Amino acid sequence: MRVSADLISRVTDAVLKEVSDWQNRALEPMYPLVLLDALRVKIRDAESRMVKNKAVYVALGVNSDGECEVLGLWGAANEGAKFWLSIMNNLRNRGVEDILIAVVDGLKGFPDAINAAFPDTTVQTCNVHLMRHSLNFCGWKDRKAVAKALDAFEDEWGHKYPSIAPSWRRVWQEVIPSFAFPPAVRKIIYTTNAIEGLNRDIRKTTKTRGSFPTDDAATKLIYLAIRNFEKSGRCVREWVAARNQFAILYPERFNR
C-alpha cells in the first residue's frame, strides 16, 4: 500500500497541532518535585545542512498525589541562563505558582534561573548525575574505592583523579540541601527511576534514527514517546511516606 505525500503531510500537521496544545496546556499550581534533564539529539541544521547535537530539555513533575507528568519539552539552540529562565517562565505562565524542590543536572546558571522565577524553590543537584560524571574519570578497578566521602577521597585520590573533587565543590551548595531532608523525602530525590524511565522510552523511540531532518521531526517523535510514557500511569514509589513529610516541612505551600 502506497501512502501519499498529502496524507503524510496531514498526519504530520495533526501531530504538531497536538504537540502545540500539549505544550501550552494549563498546569497544576504546585508541584512538590520537578526533575529537569537534557537529552542529546542529532538534528540536521537547516542552513549549513550539517548534523549537529542539540539539547532537548524535559521537565518531569510529580504532583501531590505522587503522579508523574511531563510538563514540557524544549529544544535549546543556545543553552544558557536566559534559555533556562525561559523554561521557568513558561511553567509560571501556564499556572505553576510553586515548586518545592527542583532536581537539576548541575549545569551552571540553572539554579539561579529557577530561583529567579520561583524564589522559594530548593534546588538540588542530582547526585546520580554527579556520581556518573565523576566515575567517568577513573578506571574500572578504582571505581568502588573512589565512591567515598569527598574530603577523604580528595586526600587519597586527588592526585590521581584531579577533576573529580572540583566537579562536586563547584555545585556543593546544590548538593547539600538533601542532607537536611528526612529519609522519605531524600529517597525520592535520590531515586531517579521516573526520569530514567522517561529517558529510556525516548531513546528507545529515537535510537533507530541516525539523525532527524528538522527540529519538528525530532519534536514529534519525542512527544509520541512521552505520550506512551504517560499512558503507563507512572507514580513515585513509596510516595505516601514522602507526602506526609512534605506536609510537615511545607504545611502552607504543600496543602494549598
At 7, is the pLDDT very low, low, confident or very high (cuts 50, 70, 90)? Answer: very low
Residue 177 grid coordinates: 540541601
CA dist 18 and 8 (Å) reads 15
156: pLDDT strictly greater than 50:
yes
pLDDT of residue 171: 59
% of the chain at pLDDT higher than 70: 69
pLDDT of residue 109: 75
Least confident segment among 53-62, 151-160, 218-227:
151-160
pLDDT of residue 94: 97
Location of C-alpha cell 538534528: 43
Give the start-to-end residue ranges of the domains of the chain. Answer: 14-251
Tell which residue, 14, 68, 87, has the closest CA to residue 199: 68
pLDDT of residue 140: 66
% of the chain at pLDDT higher than 90: 24
pLDDT tens for residues 18-76?
A: 899 999 999 999 999 998 888 888 887 767 778 888 888 889 999 999 988 999 999 87
pLDDT tens for residues 174-206?
A: 565 666 688 888 888 765 567 777 878 888 877
pLDDT of residue 3: 37
pLDDT of residue 29: 95
Least confident segment among 2-11, 149-158, 177-186:
2-11
